[in-house]
């Protein structure tokens, strides 16, 4: 009998769910829109401040993991326990949850005991604010040369970090922060509440 995902070590999970990079799939936008609609149907409208498609799958032409990242920003008075229950009841798995210094919950959908499903999602739940992911996404969308450079960086890291998600993420951090700061200089307070 196979182990449940919740019983696996981090190393076992990384082996089952390696870093995979694929050419941009134009269906990512449709997957995002479908999932956004489902979120709007299960979460009280008064709790939702903003929903955005983020991450590399939101940038046309950029190589990415075949995962749709969604940023769900909620009101400060949202009942968090109720929100978690609604998401879990609708197929999401809570992967991590931090309440301070800022709310930061991560959910996923599409991870199975046999590996990735056809559609894979990561849902990042936070309070409404001026998030770096929005700036970085827009900067990549509007600066193709930087998006191409980012794609090359990711490809160069693949062999070393194929089964180490934390290492892969950490190795991209300096590039992301550098260009996020450039985006903030260029865009100002575009996302400030």
Cis link prior to 101 (omega < 30° from 0)?
A: yes
Q: 18-23 — which CB contacts under 8 Å span 24+ positions?
A: 18/162, 18/163, 19/65, 19/158, 19/161, 19/162, 19/163, 19/164, 19/165, 19/168, 20/65, 20/66, 20/116, 21/63, 21/64, 21/65, 21/154, 21/155, 21/158, 22/63, 22/64, 22/65, 22/66, 23/63
Question: In the CATH hierarchy, which fold is given to the domain comprising 9-187?
Answer: Beta Polymerase; domain 2 (3.30.460)
Quick check: 67 and 54 in contact, CB under 8 A?
no
0.85 surpassed by pTM = yes
**83-134 confidence digits (pLDDT tens):** 999 999 999 999 999 987 889 999 999 999 999 999 999 999 999 999 999 9
Condensed to tens digits (0 to 9), the pLDDT of residues 125-167 reads 999 999 999 999 999 999 999 999 999 999 999 999 999 999 9
Instruction: Domain ranges for the chain, please list them.
Output: 9-187
Q: Encoding tokens for residue 176? A: 């992301």
Per-residue model confidence as pLDDT tens digits over 26-44? 999 999 999 999 999 999 9
């Amino acid at each position: 009998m196979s182990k449940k995902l919740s019983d696996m070590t981090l190393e076992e999970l990384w082996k089952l769910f390696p870093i995979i990079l694929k050419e941009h799939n134009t269906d990512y936008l449709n997957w995002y829109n479908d999932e956004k609609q489902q979120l709007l149907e299960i979460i009280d409208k008064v709790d939702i401040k903003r929903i955005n498609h983020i991450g590399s799958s939101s940038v046309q032409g950029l190589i990415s993991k075949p995962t749709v990242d969604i940023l769900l920003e909620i009101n400060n008075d949202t009942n968090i326990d109720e929100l978690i229950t609604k998401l879990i009841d609708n197929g999401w798995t809570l992967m991590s949850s931090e309440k301070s210094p800022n709310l930061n919950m991560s959910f996923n959908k599409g991870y199975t005991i046999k590996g990735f499903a056809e559609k894979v999602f990561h849902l990042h739940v936070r309070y409404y604010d001026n998030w770096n992911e929005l700036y970085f996404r827009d900067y990549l969308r509007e600066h193709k040369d930087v998006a191409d450079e980012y794609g090359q960086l990711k490809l160069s890291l693949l062999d070393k970090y194929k089964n180490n998600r934390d290492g892969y993420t950490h190795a991209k951090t300096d590039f992301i922060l550098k260009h996020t700061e450039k985006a903030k200089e260029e865009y100002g307070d575009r996302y400030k509440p």
